[in-house]
């Protein structure tokens, strides 16, 4: 009997705990040669709702060029289920002096929980007509694929970073192109370029 | 009020097209169709809904197919929305919210477009959708085609957005219609999610 009462109280406490969602998406971020520049960012309020960040075009010479940047994040909170989903997409993308190009870059990050479980994923993320170092990539790019960029550094494609403890919180960050700029002689990191970034998380 | 009535009739007309299209019709193509002159209908007597919807993600192939288009294909759209009944419920089906819809197919209207819509109507679907946690909403918005001039006050309707399960990929589905467009056609895409999620939430007074 005591166990049942404790279980009921535990469930009740869980039902009234504060739920939160977070979401963030943007098209491009550049930190190179002392220049930091970022396209409009969509940031979801912690109570849910919707936010957007858009630009017709965005460019930083030698680092990135893109058009039709659209970042959207939406989410909702309630006791039974909560969720956040963020998307970032760009068209006519050229990065790292043309070492990486794509017709379309799409990042999708999703986090959710229901009454009994939760999760997060980067399903829906992808490239359309990706070309790396002059070579067309005609298959899906696996999460966290590293490619070297001679004279530039390296890039992680479809970078997926899970967040949360998996018990009371779940999250995912997707960076479709994450270029790490390196000094050619010493190999030291000198900057970074992020293209197509979407993050979502939920907690209860 | 007249505006609301006009919207209601417009949605009714669109709904009539959708009934013909049938939610689970495997033969439903993605694309544009010629707008028809259809009799409007007003359900009448309905109350403002007691739920809200949020969602976002990606849609590719026409329902009931699932999964993404090949990496060489531009044939997909991404979206994000929040929609709910108007808190004051000034008239039946009054709604509020926003939707972003980005179509990438070069063979679609305008060679692809970005659509930014405001929700003014919200209700339960009446197109025969059998999933229990679905909503229908519509309104007007701005359409920016890749090749062409911006169009203002373009009507849209999400004939249904359904929360079937968590996670929503391959299960949740959405039916988007935009138009009539400047050339008289109506854009539509009807798909299971290939990324993202849709959530249906009962209104409790606190949300």
What is the DSSP annotation of chain A? -HHHHHHHHHHHHHHHSPPEEEEEEEEEEEEETTEEEE--EEE--TTEEEEEEEEEEEEETTTEEEEEEEEEEEEE--SS-EEEEEEEEEEEEEEGGGTEEEEEEEEEEEEEE-SS-EEEE-TT-EEESEEETTEEE-SPPPTTEEEEETTTEEEEEEEEEEES-SSSEEEEEEEEEEEEEE-TTT--EEEEEEEEEEEEEEE-
Distance, in Å, from the CA atom of A203 to the CA atom of A94, rounded to the nearest integer, reads 36
The answer to whether residue B101 is domain-embedded is yes
Closest CA–CA distance from residue A159 to any residue of chain B (Å): 16
Cβ–Cβ gap B68/A104 under 8 Å: no
pLDDT value at residue A184: 86
Out of B71, B196, B201, name the one closest to residue A126 (CB).
B71
Q: Does A77 touch chain B (CB under 8 A)?
A: yes
The answer to whether residue B195 is domain-embedded is yes
Torsion of CA B187, B189, B195, B200, to 10 degrees: 100
Cβ–Cβ gap B57/A110 under 8 Å: yes
Closest CA–CA distance from residue A40 to any residue of chain B (Å): 15
pLDDT value at residue B30: 42
The answer to whether residue B41 is domain-embedded is no
Q: B202 forms bridges with which residues in the sheet?
A: B51
pLDDT value at residue A175: 98
Torsion of CA A109, A114, B170, B164, to 10 degrees: -130
Q: Are A157 and A190 in contact (CB under 8 A)?
A: no
Q: B53 forms bridges with which residues in the sheet?
A: B83, B200
pLDDT value at residue B92: 86
What angle is formed at CA B146 by the lines to CA A137 and CA A68, rounded to 5 degrees? 60
CA nearest to A113, candidates A5, A20, A4 = A20
Domain range for B161 is 2-20+49-202
Eight-class DSSP state of B45: S
Torsion of CA B194, A41, A76, B57, to 10 degrees: -10
The answer to whether residue B40 is domain-embedded is no
Q: Does A58 touch chain B (CB under 8 A)?
A: no
The answer to whether residue B61 is domain-embedded is yes
pLDDT value at residue B13: 42
What angle is formed at CA B19 by the lines to CA B14 and CA B24, rounded to 5 degrees? 120
Closest CA–CA distance from residue B87 to any residue of chain A (Å): 15
ipTM above threshold 0.85? yes
pLDDT value at residue A2: 52
pLDDT value at residue B6: 39
The answer to whether residue B29 is domain-embedded is no
Residue B76 phi/psi, 5-degree rounding, is -160, 170
Distance, in Å, from the CA atom of A201 to the CA atom of A162, rounded to the nearest integer, reads 9
Which chain B residue's Cα is nearest to A139? Answer: B71
**How many other C-beta atoms lie within 10 A of the C-beta of residue B39?**
8
Cβ–Cβ gap B167/A139 under 8 Å: no
Q: Does B205 touch chain A (CB under 8 A)?
A: no
Torsion A10-A167-B56-B62 (CA) sign: negative
| Per-residue model confidence as pLDDT tens digits over B20-70 | 333 333 333 344 333 322 222 233 444 789 999 999 999 999 999 999 999
- Residues in chain B with pLDDT < 50? 1-46
pLDDT value at residue B20: 33
Closest CA–CA distance from residue B36 to any residue of chain A (Å): 32
Q: A148 forms bridges with which residues in the sheet?
A: A154
- Residues in chain A with pLDDT < 50? 1, 6-16
Eight-class DSSP state of B111: G
Residue with tokens 């893109």: A66
The answer to whether residue B39 is domain-embedded is no
Which residues of chain B have a CB within 8 Å of the CB of A122?
A: 195
Which chain A residue's Cα is nearest to B145? Answer: A68
Contacts 24+ apart (CB under 8 A), B67-72: B67/B170, B67/B194, B68/A124, B68/A126, B68/A140, B68/B194, B68/B195, B71/A126, B71/A127, B71/A128, B71/A129, B71/A130, B71/A137, B71/A138, B71/A139, B71/A140, B72/A128, B72/A129, B72/A138
What is the tally of structural domains in chain B? 1
Give the predicted TM-score (pTM) of the model: 0.86
Residue with tokens 């049942």: A4
The answer to whether residue B171 is domain-embedded is yes
């Amino acid at each position: 009997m005591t166990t049942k009462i404790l279980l009921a109280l535990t469930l009740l406490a869980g039902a009234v705990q504060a739920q939160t969602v977070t979401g963030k998406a943007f098209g491009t971020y550049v930190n190179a040669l002392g220049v930091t520049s970022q396209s409009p960012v969509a940031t979801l309020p912690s109570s849910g709702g919707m936010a957007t960040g858009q630009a017709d075009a965005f460019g930083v010479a030698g680092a990135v060029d893109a058009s039709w940047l659209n970042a959207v994040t939406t989410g909702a909170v309630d006791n039974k289920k909560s969720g956040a989903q963020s998307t970032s997409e760009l068209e006519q993308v050229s990065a790292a002096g043309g070492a990486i190009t794509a017709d379309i870059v799409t990042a999708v990050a999703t986090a959710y929980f229901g009454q009994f479980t939760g999760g997060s994923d980067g399903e829906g993320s992808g490239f359309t007509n990706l070309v790396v170092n002059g070579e067309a990539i005609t298959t899906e790019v696996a999460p966290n694929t590293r490619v070297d960029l001679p004279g530039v550094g390296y890039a992680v494609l479809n970078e997926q970073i899970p967040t949360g403890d998996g018990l009371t919180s779940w999250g995912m960050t997707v960076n479709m192109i994450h270029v790490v700029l390196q000094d050619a002689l010493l190999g030291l990191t000198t900057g970074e370029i992020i293209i197509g970034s979407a993050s979502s998380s939920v907690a209860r | 009020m007249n505006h609301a009535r006009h919207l209601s009739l417009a949605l009714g007309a669109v709904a009539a097209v959708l009934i013909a299209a049938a939610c689970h019709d495997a033969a439903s193509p993605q694309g544009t169709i010629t707008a028809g002159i259809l009799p409007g209908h007003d359900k009448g007597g309905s109350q403002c809904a007691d739920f809200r919807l949020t969602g976002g993600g990606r849609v590719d192939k026409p329902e009931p197919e699932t999964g993404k288009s090949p990496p060489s294909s531009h044939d997909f759209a991404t979206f994000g929305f929040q929609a709910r009944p108007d808190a004051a419920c000034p008239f039946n089906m009054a709604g509020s919210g926003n939707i972003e819809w980005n179509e990438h197919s070069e063979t679609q209207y305008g060679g692809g477009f970005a659509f930014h819509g405001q929700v003014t109507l919200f209700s339960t679907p009446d197109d025969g959708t059998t999933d229990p946690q679905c909503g229908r909403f519509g309104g007007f918005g701005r359409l920016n085609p890749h090749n062409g001039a911006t169009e203002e006050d373009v009507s849209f309707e999400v004939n249904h957005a359904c929360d079937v399960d968590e996670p929503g990929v391959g299960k949740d589905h959405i039916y988007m219609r935009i138009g009539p467009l400047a050339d008289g056609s109506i854009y539509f895409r009807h798909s299971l999610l290939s990324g993202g999620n849709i959530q249906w939430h009962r209104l409790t007074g606190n949300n």
